[in-house]
Structure 1
């Protein structure tokens, strides 16, 4: 694995020439960025402060005062105690200053990075690639040798091993549940959050494209991107304000597992005996196999709590925590019928009647076995709510796929 690049000179180093070498280097650089995104080391406060100061100076502002907190939760009272310093970036038309220079600092910083990314996109061709008629998603569903042998453009293969797995892992599987749990705004105007290590995906995209020789950038843009890269390598989330900047430490623990059927190293949060993400002040996020859940799902899942839970993913996770067999007994479900699963050899479909008082509507529960193998090698059992008129589990399974029971019975294998 390469050492993390610490300055713009690394981005413009001599790239490889062959497609295979370019993809291999992209994998190495992406793995290094993922390591930073999942780092649980204490922040390098000096480096982080220097990078933020560099961004403030690009806005014509002096270095801010820095307030360090142990977690995003701990940042909220600081932000709410000084709303005049952390004004929301979205202003009503009647409130918007006439001159851009008079806009709140948070809005000017957002414009600064948006302009940077627009210029970098022009150099990488990313803006064109996002058009629906351009490019392909095929390399994401192939191994690297398959993609290269099939003639996929090296640009698309590089993105398939770099940009896309980083976005899937960092943005969707890690950052999103942390924000949902720890940054609940409850109606107040939220300050603009930057994510430090969890901004790694978009920064890595431009870094990888340059390192493998698929893009070159203006010298000042390299220096500007380098400031964001420094933040991603040195700290957790942060909130810029007028004359002050709140900085959060990284998590003390981050626990992950491979995503099912991952081809390019995609991960998701998971820990079944404690928080998947924990900060030193006790702020925590509980995640089971990628599903963000409340703590009770791990510590005290009961049928009563499950039936009161509106979120279907939370309900599913809690039932799986209990175990489907125990849940069915404790919830008083009645078996209507069972049959071999035509789409999943050696597995059985079970159809249960659900009491009206339990889910509040006439329904039945189809219990099946997933066709895909989980990271631990097992096939997960799962339940589907199906209309109450079904008596045949094969017909109910077909309905879930938009098929008749007869057509579903002819499947060789489902996933």
Structure 2
């Protein structure tokens, strides 16, 4: 899946142009490639079975095993059931050849990544010294890290930061947040039991594959023939299939989801997204298995379809409880739950807004307080959201509780001109 480099913008030293405007355009091209990989990781619909099976068969052969038979399932939940029914999972007392298959493939891919990492770490690019990404640069290194962490990729490019840290942050870390920490972790909640084997995440492996492929795609460096072949195989799997598992003589292959719903991560600088659907499951598979997710938080279906004060009171997961309250609305929840108001005061960090401190319901467990405040910045729709924060039960002052959330004493918080 390698692409032809663009020779007019990539000088002989294997990096981007020193011209700030051209370099910024190079980085925007990197972001476009990242978004292409993100699209693969979020793609819904039938797998390309022939491509996926061909790629897995190649991995078996390269690891020294015969090509397997293939068994397709509609979801990871169905895969777990099939693996258990066929007794394919590992046991601690009876080693089998299946251990050798998945471990050998994992070692093959891991060794390849290590080789490519060493090539990236060893490469010395000619870049303006004051901005070069190097541990030897002391304060400049700290400054570079700060710019990459807090600015957009284009801003980092215009500041003269070398391409390697930008690619790492805006490709590998961004895709890992969106696809692995977000989608893959949510899908994992649908499986009733461990698989007993290494899981490959197919389309959600994009964060690993895209990072190395972008170095190759833009001609920033060259990898060995074997590693390029493995990159092509992994690229094919990202583009063609969902999760899969390797066993002796059989590979269990999972279809992609039938629906994936996401929204941009708030204040995202690198294109991160999170699962979200306030009406129906954010993730659905062909066999009916599904995951409800609100703003990145996996929740039970009742949070979306029938949130009640009674259910909220007995819910032990803090994030699920918060999501359910926000579905009802804090004002409505406080009214229905009949919480005792402990203190109210003007918000010194948010002029014109009020802080309210309530006692928590007995069913929440432990003594505590709820601080109800108004967001310092507006949402995308222009509104300023009210939200509740759990604070220690020792607070009797709403201002003191608000200061605590910022690591400040109440008296210091009262001196703020405006919080965000």
Residue 12 of structure 1 and its aligned partner are, at CA, apart by: 6.4
> Which range moves more in the overlay, 338-347 or 112-121?
338-347
Q: How well do the aligned residues superpose, as a CA RMSD in angstroms?
A: 2.7
| DSSP-derived class of the 1:74 partner | helix
Alignment of 1:7-406 (within 5 A): 7-8=1-2, 10=3, 14=7, 16-17=9-10, 18=17, 19-83=23-87, 85-87=88-90, 104-125=100-121, 136=145, 138-179=147-188, 181-185=189-193, 190-355=196-361, 357-406=362-411
8 A contact 1:11–1:210 mirrored in 2: no
**Per-residue displacement from partner, 1:232-283 (whole Å, max 9, x unpaired)?**
0001111111110111111111111111111221111100010001112111
| DSSP-derived class of the 2:66 partner | coil
Shift in alpha-carbon separation, 1:390–1:41, aligned structure 2, 3 A:
same
> Which range moves more in the overlay, 342-351 or 294-303?
342-351
**Per-residue displacement from partner, 1:111-147 (whole Å, max 9, x unpaired)?**
1111011011112229999999877253132123421
Distance 2:333 2:417 in 1: 30
| DSSP-derived class of the 1:292 partner | strand
Residue 351 of structure 1 and its aligned partner are, at CA, apart by: 1.0
| DSSP-derived class of the 2:61 partner | helix
Shift in alpha-carbon separation, 1:38–1:376, aligned structure 2, 3 A:
farther
Residue 325 of structure 1 and its aligned partner are, at CA, apart by: 1.1
8 A contact 1:86–1:106 mirrored in 2: no
Shift in alpha-carbon separation, 1:376–1:114, aligned structure 2, 3 A:
farther
**Per-residue displacement from partner, 1:201-252 (whole Å, max 9, x unpaired)?**
1100001112223221001210111111100000111111111011111111
8 A contact 1:15–1:213 mirrored in 2: no
Distance 2:192 2:408 in 1: 41
Distance 1:126 1:36 in 2: 30
8 A contact 1:191–1:239 mirrored in 2: yes
Distance 2:36 2:8 in 1: 17
Distance 1:137 1:206 in 2: 23
Distance 1:285 1:103 in 2: 30
Distance 1:351 1:81 in 2: 54
* Count of paired positions: 396
> Which range moves more in the overlay, 150-159 or 67-76?
150-159
> Which range moves more in the overlay, 277-286 or 394-403?
394-403
TM-score (norm 1): 0.88
**Per-residue displacement from partner, 1:75-112 (whole Å, max 9, x unpaired)?**
111111223x4437xx69xx889xxx995211111111
8 A contact 1:140–1:157 mirrored in 2: no
Shift in alpha-carbon separation, 1:15–1:221, aligned structure 2, 3 A:
farther
| DSSP-derived class of the 2:278 partner | coil
Distance 2:236 2:186 in 1: 24
Residue 330 of structure 1 and its aligned partner are, at CA, apart by: 1.6
Residue 409 of structure 1 and its aligned partner are, at CA, apart by: 0.9
